[in-house]
Amino acid sequence: MTRIAYLEISPRQTGKTTRLAKMACELVAQGKQVVFVVHSPRAAKEWGQRHPELLVIADGQPLPRWIDPDQAVWFYDEFDWLKSVVVREGAYYATTAARLRVAGEPPAEGDVLMQLLEANGQQHVRHFWPFDVDDFVSENRRFMSAECFRLCMLGEFQA
């Protein structure tokens, strides 16, 4: 069975990408080869500029030929929204869930979030905002559907 290194499912704007990048930089400092996957070419450019020591690629972008995918440590940011995410031994994953799952029902075929929960012993990390967000949460509650609010603001993924 595949064992992953880290699984985080948290609400929006809670520092998921920053935490992943910090962990990735620590591994690079230890001499590890790291691949950091983000959702778009724009995000890849931004995070690559912030952390030039990291190889940051956009979802679906091919690896440089000099990277051995089986030897690299993989980081997937917002994995539930990516098309190219793979469950990999020792990889790091963080996301805000893209959709609610129904507890007790079999997961949909190819549901990577549920596969990762299984690979991580049904455990995950969840962070919330480190500041007073009453106005932020209240404002979003008025404009979001109940399901979207649960996903994006509460970090939930099971109904």
Residue 81 lies in a domain: yes
What is the DSSP code string of 98-124?
SS-B-TTSPPPTT-HHHHHHHHTTT--
Is the confidence at residue 71, as pLDDT, over 70?
yes
Residue 79 lies in a domain: yes
Residue 145 lies in a domain: yes
What is the CATH classification number for the domain harbouring 33?
3.40.50
| Cβ neighbours for 41, distance < 8 A, ≥ 6 positions apart | 58, 61
Residue 1 lies in a domain: no
Is the confidence at residue 40, as pLDDT, over 80?
yes
Segments forming the whole domain that contains residue 28:
6-152
pTM over 0.85: no
The total number of structural domains that make up the chain? 1
Q: Would you state the structure tokens that stand for residue 46, as one six-digit string?
A: 């931004």
Identify the burial level of 16 via C-beta atoms within 10 angstroms of its C-beta, where 0-12 means exposed, 13-18 middle and 19 or more buried. Answer: buried
Per-residue pLDDT reduced to its tens digit, 115-140: 998 888 888 888 776 666 667 667 76
Residue 18 lies in a domain: yes
Lowest mean pLDDT among 7-16, 48-57, 99-108, 118-127: 99-108
